[in-house]
Structure 1
């Protein structure tokens, strides 16, 4: 006999860990804020809206509140339902824009109160303005997200660059995030624009797709047609570690790119040489994928220390290791420039830079791209996508 009968063991309900309950509480609190602030701003009793305005407005906000966690779980959880991901991502973007501008609306309401504007006119004016601004920004943001990015040209002066390398053209794409919205035609048009540049080196700096190679290959396939005079190089982003990172590395090698999985190549132009190195994403070490993890020492092993180094690293915060190693230029993505303003303020809490060229230490520069595609919500508000053309100068 045992002290614990089998039937008791089988019928005992599983216990949820305190960490899971805390996570659910945080998600619930975020949802309350995301939809609660707009609800209070748009449907406040002070506005004295008629019932035919309040009822459908409240129903829409309540439906969004309930649908968002369900569709996000179906779309980005184990089931990976693309239709659910599209719905959930769109609701997230709409909710964020409404939340942000509702906060500004509350500030405007205080100003109107000081100016002597009484309710219900004050509350109604704010509510209508918030809805109008949100609609305009969401329509414009959708167009911005779906268009082929403009080319952003930046000259970068590099210490120790040989004369033969002066004028080297580097085309940068990153954060393409091929995902639940099929953007195969968009992908082909991006490749056409990259090829128009006539770059010496073309870089893809990670977050190639949200999904496995088998699911997203049709959207990624145009990358095989990218043209570069000297090299096409790729490193992983954090999203590859949600969907078989090694398979994406193997796929990019298969279509003719060089996957810089903690290694480097040497590019020669005009008799001078440049080390082009790449490291895994900052999350690779804890991803559980064997043999993955950012290792700059391994990436530079065997490189001539007298040569300037160009480093591909998905996240800008990896620049602290680059600066210690004397890397001349790091190219990163990841931030999307915030994607939907003012989310860039939250991104800045985690990353040293949100977008553009910056200097770190005595010798190291960092270029952070706003990204070529988008993740999740199909909107870009005050954070335009880009294909970057970096021209190296002595």
Structure 2
């Protein structure tokens, strides 16, 4: 390394070191706000509850605030204690829903005060309303998270697709997040739903699990029974790089899938061919794992440039590189559709699309799945999970493709 480069690297390291201490205060501030606002809405802000109610509510929120960081560290740190994860993740979901609706409740309360209709009775009504809405949404959200995803069907026009591949069914799984809650039976039912769709290609777009292959053996095992006429392909998501990314690539190969670790395969039907390419997650390079990074050039090496390309990349924001390379269709997950409203507003800050089919540049289309499972909090609020059937259509079409969602069942399309 040259002296100038060494000096620049040292300066950059110094800047990172100076920034690092700011992280903890910011995290603590956000965490305190998440707990403090719901507590104030429910038990302060003029509610005038009897002292025992106030003390009990304060004790519950105080205990949650103090224990939460330790539970998260035990559950998601090196120890990976599943019981601690379940408690911490559920707590996070509950407090997020309470926080979101406390904001809305407090705005209503401020309007009432401005209209001269304040007082303890109104404050209590707002508090009870926030609590009631939160209970209903959490119960419904838990059901939505734990059920088998509904089937979502989308027609995707690809002008370069050969006629022999018209009607090809691509079934998409993403973000299964096998984790601290044992969902082995759920995994079996998801596999049954996928197999009922008579897929030509099945894609798993990453974030397969939270934990190692050894920890999630039973939950991932049903993926070995997935059927597809032409190919079953898988790419890593960012969560694989919190654990054993190479282990998951090996595990999926063991289960009969094609791990697209910066590589491609070609499928053919009716005399026409389609390139199925995949890249590692965009976080792979920073993981320090040798040989892991998002490498589109490597994934397409040796592919016929005249053939249409379906690229699997975990995060939607990789579409900038895909569009620059003239990719025909990118399939992604990662966003969960926001998972718990209104988190999708924050997701949109980081990603170009939260869910659905979109167009980027002259050629490239992007399909972003809301995901089949959930991360962390076992809730989905206004962001339903999905198993997606993308029916590839040769040539242009009116609009950006038909999108429909229904109950579990076999999809339509041409017979192979």
Structure 1 length as normaliser, TM-score?
0.94
Aligned to 1:10: none
Contact 2:314/2:333 (CA < 8 Å) preserved in 1?
A: yes
Report whether the alignment pairs 1:288 with 2:298.
Answer: no
Between the two structures, name the one with larger relative contact order (CA 8 Å, sep ≥ 6).
Answer: 2
- Give the equivalent residue in structure 2 for 1:318: 318
Residue in 2 that maps onto 1:90: 90
Q: Partners in 2 of 1:89 and 1:215 — Cα distance?
A: 18
SS of alignment partner, residue 169 of structure 1: strand
Match of 1:72 in 2: 72
Report the count of equivalent residues. 378
Question: Matches of 2:211 and 2:381 in 1, distance apart?
Answer: 25
Matched position secondary structure for 2:182: coil
Aligned alpha-carbon RMSD (Å): 1.0
In the TM superposition, what are the counterparts of 1:73-152 in structure 2 within 5 Å?
73-152=73-152
Q: How far apart, in 2, do the equivalents of 1:392 and 1:45 lie?
A: 55
Report what 2:39 is aligned to. 39
- 1:160 deviates by 1.1
Please report how far the alpha carbon of residue 21 of structure 1 lies from its aligned counterpart in structure 2 after TM superposition: 3.3
2: CA distance between counterparts of 1:193 and 1:247?
26
**2:161 matched to which residue of 1?**
161
Q: Distance in 1 between matches of 2:45 and 2:292?
A: 56
Which residue does the alignment assign to 1:4? Answer: none
Cα distance per residue 1:120-152 (max 9 Å; x no partner): 122111111100000000000000000000010
Q: Say yes or no: does 1:302 pair with 2:302.
A: yes
Equivalent position of 1:22 in the other structure: 22
Deviations 1:24-63 (A, max 9, x none): 2112101111011111211125111111211111111111
Deviation track 1:295-327 (CA, whole Å, cap 9, x = no partner) reads: 001101111111110000000000000000100
Which aligned pairs between 1:1-394 and structure 2 lie closer than 5 A? 19-394=19-394
**What is the alpha-carbon distance in structure 1 between the residues aligned to residue 46 and residue 100 of structure 2?**
21
Q: Deviations over 1:150-207 (max 9, x none)?
A: 0100000001111111100000001000000000000000000000000000000000
**Gaps in structure 1 of 5+ consecutive residues:** 1-16
Preserved CA contact (<8 Å) 2:187 2:219: yes
Which runs of 4 or more aligned residues in structure 1 lie more than 4 Å from their structure 2 counterparts after TM superposition?
A: 17-20
CA distance 1:112–1:201, shift in 2 (3 Å): same
Unaligned runs of 5+ in 2: 1-16, 395-416
CA distance in 1: counterparts of 2:71 and 2:356, whole angstroms: 34
Partner of 1:14: none
Contact 2:109 2:118 in 1 (8 A): no
CA distance in 2, matches of 1:262, 1:112: 58
Distance 1:186 1:245 in 2: 23
User: Do 2:93 and 2:377's aligned partners in 1 also have CA atoms closer than 8 Å?
Assistant: yes
Structure 1 residue 233, shift from structure 2 partner: 0.3
